Amino acid sequence: MAYKYVVVDQEGPVTTVTLNRPEVMNALHSDAHFELDEVFNAFAADQSQWIAIVTGAGERAFSAGNDLKVQAAGGRRGSPPSGFAGLTSRFDLNKPVIAAVNGVAMGGGFEIALACDLIIASETAVFALPEPRVGLAALAGGLHRLPRQIGLKRAMGMILTGRRVSAREGLELGFVNEVTPPGELMAAARRWAVLIAECSPMSIRASKQAVLKGLDEPSVEAALNGQNRYDAVAALYSSEDFIEGPLAFSQRRPPQWKGR
């Protein structure tokens, strides 16, 4: 399907989603959010697609966040139930998503990256939640995800100042997984995707769901007691992969994952 604000490519089990508004540093408006909602709905439903990579078109930006010029001009406002970029409120997506941050990730752009499971960043990447500087607040998940990912005091140091953080500092703070030269970013993101694809997609989905839901529990004991109620865990137990993995190990051969 052809999209206006997004480019979608598939290679094997990996879907690459490129935010495609480089003329405005991939800032997003309402129409783009709804288009991205369609993109991630399709990705979630496609059994042949196991992993997504999100990046930005051009060399300057991953995403500058909310398109304030469109908002100021009275353009259509709002986003789908799945949130900013069709992703920040998509809490039922158990397939892993990798952010390949190729430049500026500001405000909503940073919130998109924080909603992903891994962040691979170019050396030119810059992260910030600068909303208070323009009379707004990072209410698409940034105010909640950042403290959970790097700790309260470090997060508040970014949130209350709106300061910019380099890719290297992001790595030190703990929200970036790897920093690469600009020309190697997508290769690095695909390398991570390949490593994930070597594992059972059923196991990956069960693991992601157990981790994220477990973090909402008050204790490790409660998380352990609750994990067998998770649908991705139940799906793992009843899957062909649950049999194939031990069988392949016993036969000393690579497993042939089905993702079901």
The 3-state secondary structure of 188-201 reads HHHHHHHHHHCCCH
Three-class SS of residue 88? coil
pLDDT at 1 over 80: no
Q: Please give the Cα distance from 237 to 172 (Å, whole number).
A: 37
Closest-CA residue to 104 (of 27, 185, 156, 172):
27
pTM of the entire structure?
0.96
pLDDT at 75: 59
For residue range 111-156, list pLDDT tens digits in order.
999 999 999 999 999 999 999 998 999 999 999 999 999 999 999 9
**Catalytic residue positions?**
111, 131
Q: At which residue do the structure tokens 């970013």 appear? A: 185
| Mean pLDDT (the chain, rounded) | 95
Cα angle 2, 66, 114 (rounded to 5 degrees) comes to 85
**pLDDT more than 90, % of the chain:** 92
Per-residue DSSP letters for 19-36? E--GGGTT-B-HHHHHHH
